[in-house]
Amino acid sequence: MQNKNSSKSLALVYVWSKKIRFFHWLNVLCVFLLIAIGLIILNSKALGVTSDGKILLKTCHVLVGYAFCINLLCRVLVGFFGTGFEKWGATLAFNKGFASEFKKYRLGKTKHYKGHNPAGKLMITAMFLALSVQMVSGLVIAGTDIYYPPLGGYFKEQVAIDSTQIKLIKPYSKVNIDAEKYQAMRDLRAPFITAHVYSFYLLLLLIPLHVAGVIFTERKEKSAITSAMINGYKTLPKD
């Protein structure tokens, strides 16, 4: 009886659009694959991976990286031009009044949220920052390491001895490479590699925290937030 009454006072509320759900699950898939391949690249010496094997791993990592970047860039555009909970104001922790929103959440004064709760907004802000660092640093090192777009062509020209023979320049080969210019390119790339690796460690911390936060919120708010990321609907009190 009690259950019947309480289910009567609940309503299904559409919160996550198809675009948001598609972005979320494609992002999960890409990040999972990028971490898995990234871990092998990071430990390639210990695993005895050959040079050709490394080039193949990096190529696969970069190809998945492109899907990840396009998906992330589409989400950025949807944040600016979308509607309702797609907008950045409803997603990130920078909206006006966020501090008092967070205080109310901490004190337990607001029990339910149509979109993200303030803790969720903070987590998503941190994850978007880490993902953006991965995107920018990844695209730079893809150009300097295996000469892949969008910057690979530019870096090939930078390190070439003979710029009419650009085609001869291949990953891990010294043919048509000016040693000094190559070293300058490696120096330029160093901070991007550092950013890529530290942001990767940050993601290894944020991802389990995000999952723990979802489980905690699911148990506390009981508004079906996990299935909402599949079917779009949260279960919220009618009032």
Write out the residues near ligand HEM by the rule CB under 6 A. 31, 34-35, 38-39, 41-42, 58, 61-62, 65-66, 68-69, 131, 134-135, 138-139, 141-142, 145, 193, 196-197, 200, 203
Spell 207-219 as b/e; 16+ CB within 10 A means b: beebeebeeebee
**94 to 6, 98, 121: CA distances (angstroms):** 35, 7, 9
Least separation in angstroms between CB 210 and ligand HEM = 13
* Closest distance to ligand HEM from the beta carbon of 56 (Å): 12
Could you tell me the smallest distance in angstroms from the CB atom of residue 68 to ligand HEM? 5
Which amino acid, 57? Answer: L
Tell me whether residue 15 or residue 139 sits nearer to ligand HEM (CB atom). 139
Q: In degrees, to the nearest 5, what angle opens at C-alpha 57 toward C-alphas 54 and 58?
A: 85
Phi, psi (rounded to 5 degrees) for 11: -135, 150
Q: Which is nearer to ligand HEM, 117 or 144 (CB)?
A: 144
Q: In angstroms, what is the minimal distance from the CB of 158 to ligand HEM?
A: 17
Residue least distant from ligand HEM (Cβ): 138
C-alpha 87/C-alpha 84 separation (Å) is 6
Main-chain dihedrals φ then ψ at residue 177, nearest 5 degrees = -110, 125
For ligand HEM, the closer of residues 42 and 188 by Cβ is: 42
